[in-house]
Amino acid sequence: MSPTIALVDDDRNILTSVSIALQSEGFTVRVYSDGETALKALLDNPPDLAVLDIKMPRMDGMELLRRLREKSSIPTIFLTSKDDELDEALGLAMGADDYITKPFSQRLLIARIRAILRRTEARAMPEDQPDTPAAEKIVRGRLEMDPARHRVQWNGQDVTLTVTEFLILEALAQRPGFVKSRDQLMDTAYQDDVYVDDRTIDSHIKRLRRKFRQVDSEFKAIETLYGVGYRFAEE
């Protein structure tokens, strides 16, 4: 069954051209011209991935994503205005998996969609499958990660992460105490020659810390080494 992509944008030209491009690549596409209409549809019948414009009438992309993240972890890509760094940072902080600035290449958008879907599918497992063997799980102090089920717990409490956040944390937790540079984390989280800059990784790290601090206000396991990168400090 082909993956379903939801496009939410008030620009009819973008909806039409991107829909045609995605359909030609084998995707099933649903389109929505405003955030309010899209919200109910995305929650009632979740797609495999959503592409959201930020500036829309009735409900903008930021508010749409905020409400989505209250009930869903649908992988999401933001479309932002050119050079609008505030939009990009806010979008990532609120839980978007990636962003692309307008005007954008349809080829680039398709590459990023495929990369995120592959990472999502690689971690999917039917509910009737046996639990992941303990040897395949990552246990670091109070952290437990189950890559096969895309599940993370801290001190026994679930922490909901996007695919990109999970990959970054996994890279850090695999070798606690060892520093990972931003370039190394970008290579881990963004494959297929998809370019992102340092600010993107920094935003993901901030979101990771924020999510863990929601279950433990004293969480300090992800450390910054200024000018070098990040490391996981096993407690």
Cα-flanking dihedrals φ and ψ of residue 177, to 5°?
Answer: 90, -20
Whole-prediction pTM: 0.64
pLDDT band at 227 (very low <50, low <70, confident <90, very high): confident
- pLDDT tens per residue, range 60-108: 888 999 899 888 889 999 887 755 555 666 667 677 888 787 878 888 8
Share of the chain above pLDDT 90, in %: 45
Q: What is the pLDDT of residue 221?
A: 95
Residue 137 has pLDDT above 80, yes or no: yes
Task: Kindly list the structural domains of the chain, giving each domain's residue range(s) and its CATH number in brackets, ordered by start.
Answer: 4-124 (3.40.50.2300), 138-232 (1.10.10.10)
Give the tens place of pLDDT for each residue, 157-191. Answer: 999 887 778 889 999 999 999 999 988 888 777 65
Q: Which residue has the higher pLDDT, 130 or 114?
A: 114
CA torsion 96→97→103→107, rounded to 10°?
A: -150
* Average pLDDT value for residue range 203-216: 90
Res. 39: pLDDT tops 90: yes
As a whole number of angstroms, the distance between CA 217 and CA 159 comes to 13
Q: Exposed, middle or buried, 36 (CB in 10 Å: 0-12/13-18/19+)? A: middle
DSSP string covering 6-17, please?
EEE-S-HHHHHH
Q: Give me the residues paired with residue 7 across strands.
A: 31, 51
Q: In the prediction, which pLDDT does 198 show?
A: 57
Give the DSSP letter of residue 180: B
Q: Going by C-beta distance under 8 Å and a sequence separation of 6 or more, which residues neighbour residue 30?
A: 4, 5, 6, 7, 41, 47
**Can you give the pLDDT at residue 127?**
46
